[in-house]
């Protein structure tokens, strides 16, 4: 127990400020106001791997580490698409995941946002389109925003999420 307490005390608070993005550069406050206005509560995100190499997953997982502390900004990952407002889709869409991706999207309540993650999510990346790959996410479900990178780092993922929310406010 002593070890646990001492580790907490010595680590302190590591959370960094929100990454900025050009359209809105939200502070924590404006972000939370936006979320409250649009959803009336925390933003719930669901991730679906539609055939990625698992590199993008690692960076999405990093969003929850103490430096980025996504949850601290009022954004949380949920276990079911039925609880989700936003879908992060990684990978080129493999033909074997096409149906599952469609069903996940259909299970989400409206309003919903979709972000295609990584070069693969954008256009299929190195995998392109083939007998086994449908290419980018937009070829299967509507996409609101794309975050490029291979894999994109957590700051650009975070920024992509904020940008998607901010663009809704502007509309």
Partner 1 sequence: MATNFMELQSASLPANVPCKLARVDRQQWLQTAEALRQSNARILALWGADDRDRDGSFHIYAAYLLPDSVLVVEHCMEDASTPSYPSLAVFFPAASRMQRAVFDLLGIATDESDTRGWLRHGGWSETLFPLRRDVDGKHQYPVASAPYPFVSVEGDGVHEIAVGPVHAGTIEPGHFRFSVVGEKVLRLEERLGYTHKGIAKLFENASQQNGHRLAARISGDSAVAFSWAYCAALEAITETVCPARAILLRALALEHERLANHLGDLGALGNDAGFAFGLTHFSRLKEDLLRANAAAFGARYLLDYLIPGGVTVDLTADARCRLLNLYDALEPSVTQMRSIYDEHAGLQDRFREAGRLERATAEELGAIGLVARASGVACDLRVDHPWPPYDTLAPKMILQSGGDVAARVQARFDEIFESLRICRALLAGPPMAEIQTPVPIAAANLLGIGLIEGWRGPVMIALKTGSGGGIRSCHAHDPSWQNWPLLEYAILGNIVPDFPLINKSFNLSYSGQDG
Residues in touch with ligand SF4 (CB under 6 A): 52-53, 55-56, 90-91, 118-120, 125-126, 150-151
Q: Which CB atom, from 11 or from 17, has the smaller least distance to partner 1?
A: 11
**Measured between alpha carbons, how far is 171 from 169 in angstroms, rounded to an integer?**
5
State the binding partner of 40 from ligand SF4, partner 1, none, CB within 5 to 8 A by kind. none
27 binds, among ligand SF4, partner 1, none (CB under 5 to 8 A by kind): none
> Shortest distance, CB of residue 97 to partner 1, whole angstroms?
5
Q: Which residues bind partner 1 (CB under 8 A)?
A: 3-4, 7-8, 11, 14, 47-62, 64-67, 77, 79-81, 91-92, 94-100, 104, 125-134, 150-151, 153
Question: What's 100-113 look like in SS3?
Answer: HHHHHHHHCCCCCE
Supply φ then ψ for residue 61, to 5 degrees: -60, -35
Residues 6+ apart with CB under 8 A from 113: 85, 86, 87, 144, 145, 164, 165, 168
The residue (of 75 and 89) whose beta carbon lies closer to ligand SF4 is 89
Contact criterion met (CB below 8 Å) for 117 and 161 = no
């Amino acid at each position: 127990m002593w070890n646990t307490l001492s580790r907490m005390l010595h680590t302190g608070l590591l959370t960094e400020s929100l990454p900025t993005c050009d359209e809105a550069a939200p502070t924590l406050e404006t972000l939370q106001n936006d979320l409250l206005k649009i959803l009336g509560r925390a933003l719930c995100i669901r991730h679906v791997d539609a055939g990625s190499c698992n590199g993008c997953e690692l960076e999405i997982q990093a969003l929850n580490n103490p430096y980025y502390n996504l949850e601290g900004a009022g954004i949380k990952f949920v276990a079911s698409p039925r609880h989700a407002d936003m879908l992060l889709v990684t990978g080129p869409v493999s033909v074997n995941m096409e149906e599952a991706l469609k069903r996940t999207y259909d299970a989400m309540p409206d309003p919903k946002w979709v972000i295609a993650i990584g070069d693969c999510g954008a256009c299929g990346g190195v995998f392109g389109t083939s007998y086994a790959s449908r290419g980018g996410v937009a070829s299967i479900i509507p996409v609101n925003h794309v975050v490029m990178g291979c894999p994109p780092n957590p700051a650009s993922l975070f920024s992509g999420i904020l940008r998607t929310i901010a663009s809704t406010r502007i509309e």
